[in-house]
């Protein structure tokens, strides 16, 4: 039990499909993040939410649409993806959005394959 | 700019010590982290060190920080086959409250432990 739970763990989708990734944290944190881990690049920050408000969008294409209905839940809506979007998508959370003492805890990730 | 570098591979024998190295470029780094990723899993926070510290020890793990050279290392004593994983170094910056908990990761070091 990591405290950050992601579903589904594995997802295969076609380029015309619409799907969503879900993340839930049970740590009482106020900040949540989406990271992307692909085979040939270091981990990349995608989005940051603090108290349900998006505070950072790291130049992510609009085919990725995040949603944060409350501090415990974070979604990543996927639409018209490309094969190069296949990657491990990691959700994370932290107490708050400040770098000092901001220990970030990660979920197990959702493996996405776009065909 | 922000850049975190790690060597890609490390192979050791069971019972030996492993030393994983990391260099970073941003002198304003506040916290430096080590994460472990086992096959098919998300990132597990192993330990972290505040930038005004030189060393931190936690059971089999020893973190050494040379701030002058911007060099961070993780030593695993008595390495076991269960330590085989990818180890990520990451840094976060103190942006005066505006860095939004952003971590910059290295590309990861694959540690293989041979019986």
Tens of pLDDT, residues A78-104: 999 999 999 999 999 988 766 555 678
Q: State the pLDDT at residue A6.
A: 96
Q: State the pLDDT at residue A102.
A: 62
Chain A CB contacts of B26 under 8 Å are none
Rounded to the nearest integer, the mean pLDDT of chain B is 87
Residue B97 has pLDDT above 50, yes or no: no
Chain A CB contacts of B45 under 8 Å are 103-106
The beta-carbon neighbor of A97 closest among B41, B43, B101 is B101
Give the pLDDT band of residue B99 (cuts 50, 70, 90).
Answer: very low
CB contact under 8 A, A99 and B108: no
Share of chain B above pLDDT 90, in %: 54
* Lowest pLDDT segment from A10-24, B6-20, B74-88, B96-110: B96-110
End-to-end Cα distance, chain B: 41
Closest CA to A46 of A6, A18, A82, A76: A76
The better pLDDT of the pair B25, B98 is held by B25
Give the pLDDT band of residue B52 (cuts 50, 70, 90).
Answer: confident
* Lowest pLDDT segment from A60-64, A103-107, B39-43: B39-43
Q: What is the mean pLDDT of residues B54-72?
A: 93
Q: How many residues does chain B have?
A: 115
Q: State the pLDDT at residue B94.
A: 57
Cis check: omega of the bond before A8, within 30 degrees of 0: yes
Tens of pLDDT, residues A29-73: 999 999 998 877 778 889 999 889 998 888 899 999 999 999 999
Helix (H) / strand (E) containing A69:
strand A64-70
The minimum CA-CA distance between B80 and chain A, rounded to whole Å, is: 22
Helices (H), chain B: none
Q: What is the mean pLDDT of residues B39-62?
A: 88
Q: What is the mean pLDDT of residues A22-27?
A: 96
Residue B14 has pLDDT above 50, yes or no: yes
Give the residue on A whose Cα is nearest the Cα of B107.
A42
Question: Who contacts B62 (Cβ-Cβ below 8 Å, separation ≥6)?
Answer: B55, B56, B74, B75, B77
Task: Provide the edge-to-edge strand list for the sheet that holds B18-24.
Answer: B4-6, B18-24, B71-76, B61-66, B55-58
CB contact under 8 A, A2 and B44: yes
The neighbour count for residue A47, using CB atoms within 10 Å, is 23
């Amino acid at each position: 039990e990591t405290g950050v739970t992601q579903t589904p763990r594995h997802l295969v989708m076609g380029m015309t499909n619409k799907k969503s990734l879900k993340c839930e944290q049970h740590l009482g944190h106020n900040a949540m993040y989406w990271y992307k881990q692909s085979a040939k690049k270091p981990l990349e920050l995608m989005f940051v939410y603090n108290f349900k408000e998006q505070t950072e969008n790291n130049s992510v294409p609009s085919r990725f649409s995040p949603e944060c209905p409350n501090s415990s839940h974070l979604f990543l809506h996927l639409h018209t993806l490309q094969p190069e979007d296949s990657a491990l998508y990691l959700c994370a959370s932290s107490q708050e959005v400040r770098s000092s003492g901001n220990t970030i805890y990660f979920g197990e990730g959702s493996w996405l394959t776009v065909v | 700019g922000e850049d975190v570098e790690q060597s890609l591979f490390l192979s050791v024998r069971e019972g030996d010590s492993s030393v994983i190295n990391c260099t970073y470029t941003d002198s304003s780094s506040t916290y430096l982290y080590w994460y472990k990723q086992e096959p098919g899993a998300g990132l597990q926070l192993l330990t972290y060190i505040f930038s005004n510290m030189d060393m931190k020890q936690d059971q089999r793990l020893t973190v050494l920080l040379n701030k002058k050279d911007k060099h961070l290392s993780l030593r695993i004593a008595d390495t076991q086959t269960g330590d085989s994983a990818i180890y990520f170094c990451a840094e976060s910056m103190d942006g005066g409250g505006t860095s939004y908990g952003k971590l910059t990761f290295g590309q990861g070091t694959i540690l293989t432990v041979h019986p």
